[in-house]
Structures are given as C-alpha cells and as structure tokens.
Amino acid sequence: MHSVKQSDSASRFVRLLTGFDGNVTNLLEQIVGAPIQVVDVRQHDIPLPAKSVLYDHGNRTALRRDAVLMSQTGLRLATARSHLALARLPPEVQGALRCGTQPIGRILTRHRLEVFREVVRCRLLAPTPGDADPPSHSDDDPVVERVSQVWRDERPVMEITELFTRICLGLL
C-alpha cells in the first residue's frame, strides 16, 4: 500500500497533469511501461442544465464512465467521467465514442480531429475526516483530480473529469 504521505509524488503528478494537455492513456502507458486498458463501465444520454458549456437547446449529451486499468494486472489507475456533446462531432467519431471500446484520446487521434484540450482544474483531493491513518486507505482510492474541456471549432465538445489513484503515485 502506498502511503498518503507521498505528497512529493502527488505534487509532481499534479504538476505533470496540469502541464499535459494530451492523451492520458499514452502518458500512463509511458509511466507504467506497459499497455493500458480502458473499460467502458457505463454510458447513457442525459440532459444538461442550460448553464453548462456543452448545452445545445434540444440536444442531449452522452455521459461516459470509464475505468483505466493496467492490462497485465487489472489494477485500476484512474476513472473518468466524460460529458460528450456528440451533436458537435462528426458521425464517425460519435459512433466510436458510443462504442466505448477505445480511449477518447485515441479516437480523436485516429479520426484526425483537430481539438484543443484545456485543463480547467487539477488538484489533490483532500482526505475525508478520519482518514489520518494511511493504512486505512485503499490503493485505488482517488487522490488526484483533473478536469479538462476539449474544444473543436471554438466550441466545447467534451468535459472530462479524471480521478487518479494512489497506484499512479506509486509508479512515479
């Protein structure tokens, strides 16, 4: 089990994620030195409030939840929750995103979609009350959160929240 007191690793990881606006799956594969697997846990369409940057009158967004695992061991490195404004994307990209079998970054690259990813927030998650004893933590508890917006043609098309586990910190 990796200690909660790994603030140096956590701080380095937050700095790395804050300055990195690319494909996180590729980044994790480089850190781990092995293939990463993305498992689509759940996906469904939802309405969004009008104040959301992804809101289009009359269009729903897809909510996709994924688990990012080390292929060889099945250890969970991260989870991701993505709101996708599918109507703003080409049909072939919509289909690939709905399949849920590939990481979002790889889909965008494979389809040569020109996008800009803006890191909106990246932070250490505060321990919950009573979490002072490091052994009480699970290695797959989220400890770092990164929220990004993906833009295409000057409009946001996705908002992605990634929660990285203690296991990631132990790999640095």
Per-domain residue ranges of the chain: 7-171
Average pLDDT over residues 153-172: 85
Q: How confident is the model at residue 140 (pLDDT cuts 50, 70, 90)?
A: low
pLDDT of residue 133: 44
pLDDT at 153 (0 to 100)? 92
* R_g (Cα) of the chain, nearest Å: 17
Enclosing H/E stretch for 166: helix 166-171
Contact 6, 169 (CB under 8 A): yes
Lowest mean pLDDT segment, chosen from 7-16, 90-99, 154-163: 7-16
Average pLDDT of the residues in 103-125 = 89
Per-residue pLDDT, averaged over 9-24, amounts to 75
Please state, in angstroms and rounded to a whole number, the distance separating the CA atoms of residues 52 and 73: 38
3-state SS of 106-130 is HHHHHCCCCCEEEEEEEEECCCCCC
What phi, psi does 124 have (nearest 5°)? -75, 140
- pLDDT-derived band at 134 (thresholds 50, 70, 90) equals very low
| pLDDT band at residue 127 under the 50/70/90 scheme | low
The answer on pLDDT for 5 being more than 80 is: no
pTM greater than 0.75 (yes/no) = yes
Average pLDDT score over the chain: 80
Mean per-residue pLDDT, 143-150: 90
pLDDT digits (tens, 9 = 90+) for 54-109: 777 767 788 899 888 888 888 888 899 999 998 899 999 999 998 877 888 889 98
What is 7-171's CATH topology?
Chorismate lyase (3.40.1410)
Phi-psi group of 33: left, alpha or beta (phi > 0 → left; psi -120 to 50 → alpha; rest → beta): left
Across 31-59, average pLDDT: 77
